[in-house]
Structure 1
Amino acid sequence: MTLQTPVETKTAIEVRDLKKVFRKREGMFRSVVKEEWALKGVSFHVYEGETYGLLGPNGSGKSTLIRILSTLLTADGGTVRMLGHKLPEGERELRRKMGRVSVDAAFYKKLSPRENLLYAAQLYGLEPKKAEKRAMEILERLGIESRRFTDPIEEMSRGMQQKIAITRALLINPPLLLLDEPTTGLDPKSRRDVQTFLEDLRREEGTTILLTTHDMAEAERLSDRIGFLAHGRLVAEGSAADLKAQAGTDDLEEAFIVLTGEEIKKDEEESV
């Protein structure tokens, strides 16, 4: 069920006319430069305390977009302002205020969740005892038993590893959370655990969440508003109910196909 729209209307994320092009050389002597525009002028905003879902098929540009917001890529045009900071000038300050979870989170897999999370806490400048206590609380709420806290991560399931990635992103209790397909490939129980936790986090902490996903049910459950991204452009935006009304259907996936002319293939990695 979609959460309530926040009463406050202060903007946490403002994206205007965002563009990104990738160039690669081709031909026998690599003398031909081919341009591929991943983002062709995307604009949207996210209110403080809101969960905003971005849906798009492979190659739509949504992973490129979230990498720009995460300060991992630099845009080729347009502006981004988050939590009052403009990119790229304010990226140092922003990194202290946001957490990011991707579909391919990296760890030192020979080490335990405790060791990985305490290392991350050091990078954030957190006090180890307080960081460990918070990590334990989050892991337990996500359904990981405390006895597994010292097991090597390589012995854990994909679902458990993703829960550890979420815990790492939340160690600093960030006001902004960027989630790039956080539940892709998870079993139904792990997916439900993560979704419930995100709902609780939003309600208890007022966290602003930007979510990219292939899962229509997940987007409809978690998002106040949803943007449909196709061929590097935002082609439709609104609540799930609004989008279905625009498309004249009772199904969000059907609405996506009608409004974008695309289909989403689940559990596939996006190339752009």
Structure 2
Amino acid sequence: MAHRARDLSNREIALHVQHLVKGFSKKTGGSLLRPVHTESRAVDDVSFHVRRGEIYGVLGPNGSGKSTLIRAMSTLLIPDAGTVSIFGLDVVHDEAQVRRLLNRVSVDAAFYKKLSPRENLLYSAQLYGLERHVAEERALVTLRRLGLKDKAFFEPLEEMSRGMQQKVAIARAFLTSPVVVLLDEPTTGLDPKSRRDVQEFVLELRDVHDATIILTTHDMPEAERLCDRIAFISGGRFVAEGTAEELRTLAGPGKTLEDAFIELTGEDLAKDEEPTP
């Protein structure tokens, strides 16, 4: 089901990206002593803003720049040019303050796999100064909401499916009640039931906690269901932005969101992974 557009025009701007550029150097030839490198821009002059309580989708294939964009917004990468601000705080100059406002879920979330979800989550809570009993109760409630059985809370993560591990990653991201959440393909590789659990939880967090959520995905139905607005990204650039209905209209009568993406970008959603630093 497509997301029903909400009027967020009177809400404050939570995230503001202006002319963001991030490139990587890749060896393309030469010799061991005289290598030749080529600069590749993973994010190329991207500008947009997201209002408080909005779910903003960045839709594109692997290699289009989605994950690099998320890492730059989350303080993990320093932009080559341009700025990113979270509620007026610059992600480079105000890094410590920004990190207290946001959290990130990626498709390749890292854990201590020998430890249980409980141990991993309590460790993360300590890093944020969250009281142990508060963290444990909040983590258990969230994991139950995402469909995990109580006994799984105490089992080693290495014995769990990827879908269960991803739910733990989502619980970790929301443990500190962030006001901005960056979701980098959070449902990739999940089974249909787990995907639905995660999507419903995202909507619940938006509605109950007024969280601002940036979601990268290459799943068209997911983008239509969750997002207030969607940007198409291709080759590190935004090529179109609007509600799902507005983007379909750009492609012509009777067109799907996928039709619109292919027509506006000239590519499909099956490409190689983007370069990493």
What range is the shorter-chain TM-score in? over 0.9
Percent of aligned positions that are identical: 58
Distance (Å, rounded) in 1 between the aligned partners of 2:36 and 2:152: 53
1:39 match: secondary structure: strand
Query: Contact between 1:57 and 1:270, CA under 8 Å: does it hold in 2?
Result: no
Q: Does 1:27 align with 2:17?
A: no
* RMSD (CA atoms): 1.4
Matches within 5 A, 1:6-45: 6-7=7-8, 8-25=10-27, 26-28=29-31, 29-45=33-49
Matches within 5 A, 1:139-154: 139-154=143-158
Deviation at 1:57, TM superposition (A): 1.6
Q: Does 1:2 align with 2:7?
A: no
Query: Contact between 2:57 and 2:230, CA under 8 Å: does it hold in 1?
Result: yes
Match of 1:159 in 2: 163
Match of 2:207 in 1: 203
Equivalent position to 1:260, from 255, 265, 269: 265
Equivalent position to 2:114, from 107, 110, 113: 110
2:183 match: secondary structure: strand
Distance (Å, rounded) in 1 between the aligned partners of 2:181 and 2:85: 15
1:96 match: secondary structure: helix
Amino acid at match of 2:11: T
2:21 match: secondary structure: strand
1:134 match: secondary structure: helix
Query: Contact between 1:178 and 1:211, CA under 8 Å: does it hold in 2?
Result: yes
Q: Deviations over 1:82-136 (max 9, x none)?
A: 1220120011111111110000001111110000000001111110001000001
Distance (Å, rounded) in 1 between the aligned partners of 2:168 and 2:273: 21
Deviation at 1:265, TM superposition (A): 2.1
Amino acid at match of 2:130: L
2:62 match: secondary structure: coil
Deviation at 1:6, TM superposition (A): 4.9
Match of 1:215 in 2: 219
Query: Contact between 1:100 and 1:179, CA under 8 Å: does it hold in 2?
Result: yes
Query: Contact between 1:18 and 1:80, CA under 8 Å: does it hold in 2?
Result: yes
Which of 77-86 and 212-221 deviates more? 77-86
Match of 1:169 in 2: 173
Distance (Å, rounded) in 1 between the aligned partners of 2:36 and 2:104: 36
Distance (Å, rounded) in 1 between the aligned partners of 2:248 and 2:179: 30
TM-score, reference length from structure 1: 0.96
Which of 20-29 and 193-202 deviates more? 20-29
- Over 3 Å counting, the alpha-carbon distance change for 1:30 and 1:180 in structure 2 is farther
Deviation at 1:271, TM superposition (A): 3.7
Amino acid at match of 1:84: G
Deviation at 1:161, TM superposition (A): 0.4
Q: Deviations over 1:192-243 (max 9, x none)?
A: 0000110111111110000000100000000000000011110000000000
Query: Contact between 2:103 and 2:173, CA under 8 Å: does it hold in 1?
Result: yes
2:43 match: secondary structure: strand
2:204 match: secondary structure: helix
Which of 90-99 and 4-13 deviates more? 4-13
- Over 3 Å counting, the alpha-carbon distance change for 1:128 and 1:3 in structure 2 is farther
Q: Does 1:54 align with 2:58?
A: yes
Query: Contact between 2:74 and 2:91, CA under 8 Å: does it hold in 1?
Result: no
Amino acid at match of 1:179: L
Query: Contact between 1:3 and 1:222, CA under 8 Å: does it hold in 2?
Result: no
Equivalent position to 2:255, from 250, 257, 260: 250
Deviation at 1:185, TM superposition (A): 0.2
Query: Contact between 2:24 and 2:275, CA under 8 Å: does it hold in 1?
Result: no
2:213 match: secondary structure: strand
Amino acid at match of 1:32: V
- Over 3 Å counting, the alpha-carbon distance change for 1:97 and 1:75 in structure 2 is same
2:177 match: secondary structure: coil
> Can you give the 5+ residue segments of structure 1 that lack an aligned partner in the other structure?
none
Matches within 5 A, 1:49-88: 49-88=53-92
Query: Contact between 1:6 and 1:50, CA under 8 Å: does it hold in 2?
Result: no
Deviation at 1:5, TM superposition (A): 2.1
Distance (Å, rounded) in 1 between the aligned partners of 2:194 and 2:96: 33
